[in-house]
Structure 1
Amino acid sequence: MQKKKVLMLAYQFPPMGGAGVQRTLKFAKYLPQFGWEPIIYTVDHKKGVNDPTLSNEVKHIRIIRTKSHDLTHWKKPFHILGKFLSRKLLIPDGEWLWYRKNRRSILEYVKEIQPDVIYSTSYPYSDHLLGLYVKKHYKEIPWVVDFRDEWTKNPYILDMNYSSYRRKIEQKMEADVVANCDYFITNSPFMLEGFMEDYDLKDKSIVIPNGYDVSDFEGLEVEITKREKLTITYAGSMYGRRKPDYFLKALNRAIEDKIVDEKDIRLQFVGDFSKQNIEKISGMLGNKNIVKFYPYMEHKKSIECLLNSDVLLLIVGNGVGDKNFYTGKIFEYINTQKTIFGLVPKDGAAAMVIEETKTGYVVDSSEVDKIATCIGDIYSRWKQGTLEVQPNYEAIRQYDRVNLTKQLSKVFDRVSQG
């Protein structure tokens, strides 16, 4: 039986590394199991964080690579000007030029491929502008939009303090995308609720969360014996409201109050951290020789690092809109059977996942006293050898990437059948 075709518009795609590529990568990897042939329309990524190992997962898939037109890739010292122009002038994001320069190209590929469905995913939001452009020229082709993050209500965008003029432009763009798409996907129920406050999505929306890929956990080297130090690992990026300040204050307090022994603690940060972040974290810990920073790792290596930890630190901001976020790493965290220390909004998406899967602690990210108390409890249990969690495996399995891709395929089936 011949597979149906879906053209996936995704600026962020391997060999680009980072959390942003994982969702589309795993969908593309598993869609053929459910009768769909994915064709990826993306960029020829050469600069920034790369993870070539991810490309091995989609060798069998056709990938169309185009020039990125990224101003931040200008040569030094002009890249500073490029960053300024990209952030201040291009709306809705720095990838607007990619959308603008590839409008003719995408229509030619649509004519050649004749896809049964168009799929666009954000961030960047320019992916959806490209999808909207296709939809206006090929109204008969169903268009599915996938929001990995909110747009105009995104707390990180709200913190940018953009002008009211720019906000109105982006609100108009968002409204056009929502009005013209055939189906609307978000990755958390809280996010969908936010969109439904502004738009009528009752009969054309679904929540498909992020997840974990079982194959990413295979063939890894994992220590079996107890580690000499309580190893606490944070994996992922750190920006905006997502910062470890309150955790570090609480850890300092727990050490100074002799709730924990400094010599028993190892704190690890794994990811693409700026020099400024590294210096700030090190400075907050003073003379304590307990922290180590690891640069961005290949995806499976980062999971191996999680499996060789005792506690996995998860941080989500505590401002307006932050409760809507999971962070991508949480789903790999829950499949490690390690204790998650979630400094997250108690009534938010991340807390919901930790609690339903029974995989760790949830503490408001700004409550230093409670964080310090939890650090003491974790330390005591580690010393006693009773730190293991008792997960709800059935709840965890619902976040398997294969199951999530099956849900996406059903959306494609539905819209393509009219």
Structure 2
Amino acid sequence: MKKVLIVTYYWPPAGGPGVQRWLKFVKYLPEFGITPIVYIPENPNYPIIDDSIGNEVPEGLVIYRHPIREPYKVAGFFSKNDAKRISSGIITTKNQSFLEKVMLWVRGNFFIPDARKNWVKPSVRFLQTIIEKENIDCLVTTGPPHSLHLIGNQLKQITKVKWLADFRDPWTSIGYHKKLKLTRKSQQEHKRLEQLVLNNADRVIVTSNTTKEEFQGITQKPISVITNGYDTDISVPKVTTKGFTISHIGSLLSGRNPAILWQVLGTMVLENDEFDSCFKLRLAGVVSEDVLQSIYDAGLRGHTELLGYVSHEEAVRLQQESQVLLLVEIDSHETKGILPGKLYEYMAAGRPILGIGPKGWDAARIIADTHSGFSFGYDDENKLKDVLLKWFEAYSNDGLIMDAQGIEKYSRRALTRELAKLI
């Protein structure tokens, strides 16, 4: 069997979507004649912990660990809350404290490409021996954090091993990049490193067609789209709630605030007594203060249920018991290629998906192609209300179902088959 070494930062007990992609690939790769070996930090500073996810790590999997110096741990001595928010990607532009501004400037200009850059050199030294010891055929680095791709770049030069660079998100075009208070010199360094990785890797893997098109303007190396997906082994009973529940699973950060939706729902609550009596907005995950205030300003305080972070197992259950599943992305040209991992689990849950995102959003195309719901822009108020009213009417008549089509290609096993071909 071929051996592939996977270099990743996020691994159980880390929570959130970043851990799911390669945890599932590792699960299915042996079925296609490939033995995965994983390399992770020994002492990571994960912003979210999910103890239950450790049960999904395949028995007998070889895992190598090496210490990492985490600057967020040092930053936490000065402001634990600010450090945790920045580490988890919550970067607000309103009411920033002086300390938070300083931390962002330091993060953006002293830690390029990211705060895990100090793991690169010790990892390269450590993995040189592992590649020889394990007779590795292929190396995979996955980011963010994109500093892990610098590990791959150096190992490629030293060992000549085949190297695949997997981008779960874009690099310099990702939404939060502009909020890092980068100097011109820092911006140029990010661009230089991005080009270095894209041109030195043997193959680039991305999760959306938009990111593929962006990278094709930077490199001539082959680029493959392998999206995230859903796990075919999910077996939580599909029992929907009695009320008309719209659920969002995951973070709702500052820019990800569909005020148009809150306004439409607020109007429906005022106009329809039946809707008012049974509507519930259920939010599982981190919700920023300005998003929450926007929801309350629309008159939805009494209809909103805040669950906080939930385990992946609980998230799947919530998806399958909800009436409607909400998918939201920032209204920006830079976010067209962002495909949230939960999109695919939403499709597998068999519940209608309500998407709100930028024009030309890749997720909107997938939702339409699979007939798994509807997606709207941030200015489609009337169309949005019409769909919600139709769905509520169907719910009232016990007929709110979605007949999604062609989602089998997004199963984790099917996606791993495509990955195995590249390895």
Matches within 5 A, 1:282-297: 283-286=296-299, 288-297=301-310
Q: 1:210 aligns to what SS in structure 2?
A: coil
Question: Match for residue 48 of structure 1?
Answer: 47
> When the two structures are superposed, what TM-score results if normalisation uses the length of structure 1?
0.89
Tell me the CA shift for residue 344 of structure 1. 2.4
Tell me the CA shift for residue 22 of structure 1. 0.8
Tell me the CA shift for residue 72 of structure 1. 1.1
Please tell me the residue identity of whatever aligns with 1:295: G
Going from structure 1 to structure 2, the CA distance change for 1:86 and 1:69 (only over 3 Å counts) comes to farther
| Match among 397, 403, 408 for residue 408 of structure 2 | 397
Question: Match for residue 172 of structure 1?
Answer: 192
CA RMSD of aligned residues (A): 2.2
Q: Are the equivalent residues in 2 in contact too, given 1:42–1:66 (CA < 8 A)?
A: yes
Q: Are the equivalent residues in 1 in contact too, given 2:108–2:181 (CA < 8 A)?
A: no
Please tell me the residue identity of whatever aligns with 1:398: K
| Match among 179, 191, 199 for residue 219 of structure 2 | 199
**Using the alignment, how far apart are the partners of 1:134 and 1:288 within structure 2?**
53
Q: 2:375 aligns to what SS in structure 1?
A: strand
Tell me the CA shift for residue 260 of structure 1. 6.4
Question: Match for residue 69 of structure 1?
Answer: 69
Question: Match for residue 269 of structure 1?
Answer: 283
Question: Match for residue 419 of structure 2?
Answer: 408
Give the 4+ runs in structure 1 shifted more than 6 A. none
Q: Are the equivalent residues in 2 in contact too, given 1:155–1:320 (CA < 8 A)?
A: no
| Match among 332, 352, 356 for residue 343 of structure 1 | 356
Question: Match for residue 415 of structure 1?
Answer: none
Tell me the CA shift for residue 233 of structure 1. 0.3
Q: Are the equivalent residues in 1 in contact too, given 2:244–2:280 (CA < 8 A)?
A: yes
Tell me the CA shift for residue 326 of structure 1. 1.4
Please tell me the residue identity of whatever aligns with 1:64: Y
Please tell me the residue identity of whatever aligns with 1:214: T
Q: 2:65 aligns to what SS in structure 1?
A: strand
Deviations along 1:29-67, whole A, 9 cap, x unmatched? 111111111111111336531223322222321111222
Please tell me the residue identity of whatever aligns with 1:30: Y
Deviations along 1:95-124, whole A, 9 cap, x unmatched? 112224433222232232231001001111
Q: Are the equivalent residues in 1 in contact too, given 2:109–2:186 (CA < 8 A)?
A: no
Question: Match for residue 252 of structure 1?
Answer: 266
**Using the alignment, how far apart are the partners of 1:288 and 1:130 within structure 2?**
47
Tell me the CA shift for residue 387 of structure 1. 1.6
Going from structure 1 to structure 2, the CA distance change for 1:47 and 1:385 (only over 3 Å counts) comes to same
Going from structure 1 to structure 2, the CA distance change for 1:287 and 1:387 (only over 3 Å counts) comes to closer
**Using the alignment, how far apart are the partners of 1:60 and 1:164 within structure 2?**
47
**Using the alignment, how far apart are the partners of 1:61 and 1:164 within structure 2?**
44
Question: Taking every aligned residue pair, what percent have the same amino acid on both sides?
Answer: 27
Question: Match for residue 223 of structure 1?
Answer: 239
Matches within 5 A, 1:122-201: 122-139=143-160, 141-201=161-221
| Match among 182, 202, 210 for residue 228 of structure 2 | 210
Matches within 5 A, 1:234-383: 234-258=248-272, 261-274=275-288, 276=289, 279-281=292-294, 283-286=296-299, 288-383=301-396
Q: 1:228 aligns to what SS in structure 2?
A: coil
Q: Are the equivalent residues in 2 in contact too, given 1:260–1:376 (CA < 8 A)?
A: no
Going from structure 1 to structure 2, the CA distance change for 1:308 and 1:78 (only over 3 Å counts) comes to closer
**Using the alignment, how far apart are the partners of 1:240 and 1:193 within structure 2?**
27
Tell me the CA shift for residue 196 of structure 1. 0.8
**Using the alignment, how far apart are the partners of 2:313 and 2:114 within structure 1?**
30
Please tell me the residue identity of whatever aligns with 2:310: M
Deviations along 1:310-334, whole A, 9 cap, x unmatched? 0000111221122211111100000
Tell me the CA shift for residue 136 of structure 1. 1.4
Deviates more, 1:206-215 or 1:155-164: 155-164
> When the two structures are superposed, what TM-score results if normalisation uses the length of structure 2?
0.88
- Total equivalences in the alignment: 400
Please tell me the residue identity of whatever aligns with 2:73: H
Please tell me the residue identity of whatever aligns with 2:232: V
Q: Are the equivalent residues in 1 in contact too, given 2:333–2:358 (CA < 8 A)?
A: no
Please tell me the residue identity of whatever aligns with 1:126: S
Q: Are the equivalent residues in 2 in contact too, given 1:231–1:268 (CA < 8 A)?
A: yes
